[in-house]
Structure 1
Amino acid sequence: MKHGFLDKYSERDSLIHRLDPRTKFVAVFFFILAVTLTAPAAWPVFAVYFILIATQVFLSRVPILYIFKRSLVIIPFVVLVAVFVPFFTQGQVAVGFRIGPWDVSVTYHGLQVLGTILAKSWLSILALILLTSTTRMTDLLRGLERLRLPRVMVIILSFMYRYIFVMVDEVLRMKRARDSRNFGSGRRLWQIKTIGRMAGTLFIRSYERGERVYAAMLSRGYDGQSRTLNELSFARSDVLFCLVFGVAIISTGILTFLF
């Protein structure tokens, strides 16, 4: 079964790919922090942040269309959460209408807040997609461990990424078997019961698979330490990138006080 791995383009060679995973993770962390702290409706500042991300995408040689499509997958969930903000934010009314006994109004300030949420979310998503697209997942997890992230959390992330695709294949096989038994022609209650049984079966199979994998790992001397073929080390390019990126973030942050 074909899956869309997060680190699909991590094997390419570029300036961004060659950076240490810790450098990229810290840069993305402070970028998202700076974006989050940006004042509402500071559109010129958001534009500068976008140019900064676009420049890194260009340097990474990752297809722009791939980054764009990936980012749009998350946006509907952000819209679903933030779409009601204009209705509950006080300010000058932009549009007002009546639904039954309720007076509903949309304010200009609420629309600005909604646009700000969407802009911040999209920029943050772009940064995360760029990080995962230019870094092998094993190297990224190793970098997180070297940054003193709790080892248990790193192990959980590692297993989750490795076996989520196995679980997806399991679900697809169960769905194919269900459909081959004329599932769509049954009554609604019977369909609900069938889906419930499938969920229970998937849980049991996942648990049993986890026990087998854990037993196999212990028999091979697993001690909880993650190991990779690539040794992590800082280079001059990492220092230079941190300096340039840090100056860019600080300079852009200063613009926040001007708008």
Structure 2
Amino acid sequence: MIKPTRMKRDFIASSMLRALAFLKDATLSEEHANRQGFLQSLDPRIKTLTMLALLVTAVSLKSAGLIALIYLSVLALAIFSAIPATYFLTRTLLFIPLFSLLIVLPTIFSQITPGQTAYSIQLLGFHAIITRPGLDGAILFVTRTATSVSVAVLLSLTTRHAELLKVLRIFRIPQVFVLTVAMCYRYLYLFATMVENIFTALRSRVGIVSRSRHGRHLATGNIATTWNRTTAMSEGVYMAMLSRGYTGEPRLLTRLHATRKDWVWLLATATACVALLHEGGIP
């Protein structure tokens, strides 16, 4: 029989390794960007411009129903772009939208947002009243957040990192910002790999730590070691980039070229955004 403490330690260890693997997969993998899908076939400039238009439209609308329509369209685009629906929903609904729901939850009650009563419930011995304005505002906030996150995630999943950086420079984003993003992109993978290797080496040499004091000493020493190594590694990454000819400007092996398909998609997206804004009463 496995002891509860052993199960707890194994759970913490597996959770840590899975978190590191998720970090590398979510931010550094270009598997979906290399697939044969609809958005992958578009010119990165047109694709970024249309995703930005959808994002601005979703933020500007004040109707949760119209914003939900944009979200369903983004989900359909993800499916047509060879991105599994489960994979996409997991990365767009389980973090920021859920956190925003927890933030906005108190505003649905009459103590925060007075107005017409929508529901009256007993909560932990207290009589709570959920108002219609508070409920509508919370739904609008969460729907807008989920849609905005989905648009950004879809763009990053279907666009290669180098192409996205190039598009940012084409749109006159400051070079220092693009350089910072490029450095972070390269640094994150090395950092996650280093932490994973340190943890694996620790387990292979020490095994299961039986005393909490011993474990705290090991954790403290490894935090200091990781800090020193990451400081040196950040400088090493930058010097390695300079030695390979990096000047702060992202470069591509292929030239960006817009086709008739790209212009049709741009026109269709612009028309849809204008129609949604007009339907939402926004001039």
Q: TM-score, normalised by structure 2?
A: 0.78
Aligned match of 1:76: 98
Query: What secondary structure, in the 3-state scheme, does the structure 1 residue paired with 2:130 have?
Result: strand
Q: What residue in structure 1 maps to residue 266 of structure 2?
A: 242
Kept in 1: contact 2:101–2:142 (CA 8 A): yes
- Of the three residues 143, 147, 150, the one matched with 1:119 is 143
Which one of the candidate residues 198, 203, 212 is aligned to 2:236?
A: 212
CA distance, structure 1, for counterparts of residue 149 and residue 58 of structure 2: 11
Structure 1 residue 27 displacement after superposition: 1.4
Of the three residues 9, 12, 16, the one matched with 2:39 is 16
Residue identity opposite 1:82 in structure 2? V
Query: SS of the residue aligned with 1:106?
Result: strand
Does the CA-based 8 Å contact 2:114-2:131 persist in structure 1?
yes
1:178, distance to aligned residue in structure 2 (A): 4.0
Cα drift, residue 84 of structure 1: 2.5
Give 1:34's aligned amino acid: T
Q: What corresponds to 1:50 in structure 2? A: 71
Could you list the runs of 5+ residues in structure 2 that have no partner in the other structure?
A: 1-19
Equivalent residue letter for 2:211: G
Preserved contact between residue 90 and residue 107 of structure 1 (Cα < 8 Å)? yes
Question: What SS class does the counterpart of residue 90 from structure 2 fall into?
Answer: helix
- CA spacing shift, 1:126–1:221, aligned 2, 3 Å: closer
Paired residues, what number?
Answer: 254
Q: 1:38 to 1:147 in 2, by over 3 A?
A: same
Read off the aligned partner of 1:69 and give its amino acid letter.
Answer: T
Match of 2:253 among 226, 229, 232: 229
Q: Is the 8 A contact 1:28 1:128 kept in 2?
A: yes
User: Are residues 59 and 7 of structure 1, via their aligned partners in 2, closer, same or farther at CA, if it must alter by over 3 Å?
Assistant: same
Partner residue, 2:60:
37
What letter corresponds to residue 88 of structure 2 in structure 1? I
The 3 A distance-change label for structure 1 pair 194 and 142 is same
Match of 2:176 in 1: 152
Alignment gaps of 5+ in structure 1: none
Contact 1:97 1:103 (C-alpha < 8 Å) held by counterparts: yes
Query: What whole-Å deviation, never above 9, does each CA across 1:51-92 have from its counterpart, x for those lacking one?
Result: 322342243232222212221232332223323322422223
- 1:202 maps to what in 2? 226
RMSD: 2.7
1:185 matched residue in structure 2? 210
The aligned amino acid for 2:89 is: F
Relative to structure 1, is the Cα distance of residues 218 and 83 closer, same or farther in structure 2, using a 3 angstrom cutoff? same
CA distance in 2 between partners of 1:168 and 1:233 (Å): 35
Q: Percent identity?
A: 24
Deviation at 1:136, TM superposition (A): 0.8
Structure-1 separation of matches of 2:237 and 2:271 = 46
Moved more, 169-178 or 113-122: 169-178
Whole-angstrom CA distance in 2 between matches of 1:195 and 1:95: 49
